[in-house]
């Protein structure tokens, strides 16, 4: 039965295969979308050298079909789909979500990649814990200039307080020899920064120094406490986003022409439309939006690039609203079944080796679990 089924499938696919071989060159329309399709848009079309997951995948299909490729460039998904719909291109490939409304005007291949949406947040408020916030904010406060200033102030306070004690006519608080005296004065200064621990019968200059040094400690502790409290408040607000269920009511950036925008509106998020994904990332880093939602693999790829020097953004692991990417073809295309067959072959394992498709995923989207 299996042999018979394969023979029937081969007979059904034969006309489409023959038609594909009759065409020497396929017109393929693409648009930029990291890491699927990338090229320098500033160069003239004849000098562009497209690379990316979708480009390599198409090269694999073209090799299977024995055809050449002529690239056609589009700026948006809408322009790409129109180019395919009006038969100005034989196929369109990039990061095109298979949707029912699009299927009404064009044909889609079987899925070339399965993925879902993910959420990008600012790194400083994303998955921070109170202990992490405390560590980061204290680290900002304890800088080299601040350390130098503190050491100088401490040195002056220790020596002045010991000197004042030597001039006091009452009971001496410290030993009168210098090294023993400043050693005791050092421990006095540390204690007085955080608590009032001066003898009650102390007066005059010594009492004034005690009071000034204790007040300095109170001011420093108040400033540090205020900084930490403010950071924890920001973290509590921003860090409340853990998955898509936390998005309703939040200001969320999404590319105006892409599918995630419609999904976010349906769940009650306050959608801030942006022209490009990079614009949305800039708004996120600047604090103008609380989150950015887009296709997971692309967010992971961009986050890795952005965080090369300093961690600015994170992508939450939660994946939702699963969808598929496909290759677009005109409704009257004779190549649909041929391309589908090629896609299936490229996704099959090569003996003990990974499939061509798996190798592409590891090359371009190594952080993806899809």
Predicted confidence (pLDDT) at residue 12 exceeds the cutoff of 50: no
- For β-strands 270-274 and 328-329, DSSP reports them as unpaired
Peptide bond into 35 cis (omega under 30): yes
Higher model confidence: residue 279 or residue 151?
279
d(CA 235, CA 232): 5
Predicted confidence (pLDDT) at residue 17 exceeds the cutoff of 70: no
Task: Specify the pLDDT at position 29.
Answer: 97
Predicted confidence (pLDDT) at residue 278 exceeds the cutoff of 60: yes
- For β-strands 113-122 and 91-92, DSSP reports them as unpaired
d(CA 283, CA 274): 9
Note whether 11 and 54 are within 8 A (CB): no
Task: Specify the pLDDT at position 365.
Answer: 84
d(CA 205, CA 351): 88
| Structure tokens given for 25 | 């060159």
Higher model confidence: residue 241 or residue 254?
254
Percentage of the chain beyond pLDDT 70 is 81
Predicted confidence (pLDDT) at residue 173 exceeds the cutoff of 80: no
Fold matches, 121-127+242-315 and 131-238: no
Backbone angles phi, psi at 16, to 5 degrees: -65, -40
User: Is residue 159 helix, strand or coil?
Assistant: helix
* CATH 1.10.620.20 applies to domain 121-127+242-315: no
Rg (CA), the chain: 33
d(CA 252, CA 270): 6
d(CA 322, CA 84): 25
Higher model confidence: residue 83 or residue 149?
83
Structure-token match 């001496």, residue found? 172
**Alpha-helix residue ranges (DSSP H) falling in the chain:** 2-22, 53-65, 77-85, 100-103, 130-141, 144-167, 178-194, 204-238, 260-266, 277-285, 296-306, 336-347, 356-364
At 178-234, the pLDDT tens digits run 888 788 878 877 777 777 665 555 556 776 777 777 777 777 777 767 766 766 665
Domains of the chain, by residue range, sit at 2-112+326-364, 121-127+242-315, 131-238
**For 250-257, what is the mean pLDDT?**
90
- For β-strands 291-295 and 113-122, DSSP reports them as antiparallel
Structure-token match 């995948």, residue found? 57
Task: Report the mean per-residue pLDDT for the chain.
Answer: 82
Higher model confidence: residue 278 or residue 6?
278
Task: Specify the pLDDT at position 105.
Answer: 93
Q: What is the DSSP letter of 75?
A: S
Q: How many residues does the chain have?
A: 370
**For 247-272, what is the mean pLDDT?**
90
CA-to-CA separations, 270 to 94, 125, 252, 273, 291, in angstroms, rounded: 28, 19, 6, 10, 10
Adjacency order of strands within the sheet including 68-73: 68-73, 25-30, 91-92, 328-329, 107-108
At 156-169, the pLDDT tens digits run 888 887 888 777 76
Structure-token match 């299927």, residue found? 103
Min mean pLDDT across 102-111, 143-152, 307-316 is at 143-152
Note whether 54 and 93 are within 8 A (CB): yes
Percentage of the chain beyond pLDDT 90 is 46
Helix, strand, coil percent content, the chain, rounded in steps of 5: 50, 15, 35
Task: Specify the pLDDT at position 135.
Answer: 65
Predicted confidence (pLDDT) at residue 82 exceeds the cutoff of 50: yes
Note whether 112 and 343 are within 8 A (CB): yes
Task: Specify the pLDDT at position 368.
Answer: 52
Position 370 confidence tier, pLDDT thresholds 50, 70, 90: very low
In CATH, what number does 131-238 get? 1.10.287
**For 362-369, what is the mean pLDDT?**
74
**CATH number belonging to the domain at 2-112+326-364, selected among 3.40.190.10, 3.30.450.20, 3.40.50.11540, 3.30.300.30:** 3.40.190.10
Give the chain's end-to-end CA distance (angstroms, integer). Answer: 33
Task: Specify the pLDDT at position 258.
Answer: 77
């Amino acid at each position: 039965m299996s042999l018979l089924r394969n023979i029937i499938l081969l007979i059904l696919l034969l006309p489409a295969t023959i038609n594909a071989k009759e065409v020497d060159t396929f017109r393929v329309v693409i648009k930029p979308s990291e890491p699927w399709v990338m090229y320098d848009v500033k160069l003239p079309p004849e000098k562009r050298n497209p690379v990316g997951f979708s480009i390599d995948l198409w090269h694999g299909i073209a090799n299977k079909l024995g055809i050449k490729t002529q690239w056609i460039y589009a700026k948006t998904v809408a322009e790409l789909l129109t180019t395919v719909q009006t038969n100005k291109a034989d196929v369109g490939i990039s990061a095109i979500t298979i949707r029912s409304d699009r299927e009404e005007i064009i044909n889609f291949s079987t899925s070339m990649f399965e993925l879902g949406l993910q959420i990008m947040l600012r790194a400083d408020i994303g998955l921070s814990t109170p202990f992490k916030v405390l560590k980061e904010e204290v680290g900002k406060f304890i800088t080299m200039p601040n350390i130098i200033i503190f050491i100088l102030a401490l040195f002056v306070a220790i020596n002045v307080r010991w000197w004042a004690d030597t001039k006091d006519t009452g009971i001496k608080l410290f030993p009168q020899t210098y090294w023993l005296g400043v050693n005791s004065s050092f421990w006095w200064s540390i204690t007085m920064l955080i608590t009032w621990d001066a003898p009650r019968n102390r007066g005059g200059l010594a009492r004034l120094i005690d009071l000034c040094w204790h007040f300095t400690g109170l001011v420093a502790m108040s400033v540090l406490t205020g900084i930490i409290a403010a950071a924890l408040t920001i973290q509590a607000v921003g860090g409340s986003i853990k998955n898509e269920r936390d998005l309703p009511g939040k200001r969320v950036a999404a590319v105006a022409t892409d599918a995630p925008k419609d999904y976010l509106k349906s769940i009650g998020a306050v959608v801030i439309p942006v022209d490009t994904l990079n614009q949305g990332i800039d708004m996120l880093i600047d604090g103008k939006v609380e989150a950015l939602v887009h296709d997971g693999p692309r967010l992971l790829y961009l986050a890795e690039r952005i965080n090369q020097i300093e961690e600015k953004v994170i992508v939450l692991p939660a994946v939702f609203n699963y969808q598929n990417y496909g290759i677009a073809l005109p409704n009257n295309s004779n190549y649909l079944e041929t391309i589908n067959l090629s896609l299936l072959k490229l996704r099959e394992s090569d003996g003990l080796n990974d499939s061509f498709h798996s190798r592409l995923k590891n090359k371009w989207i190594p952080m993806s679990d899809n």
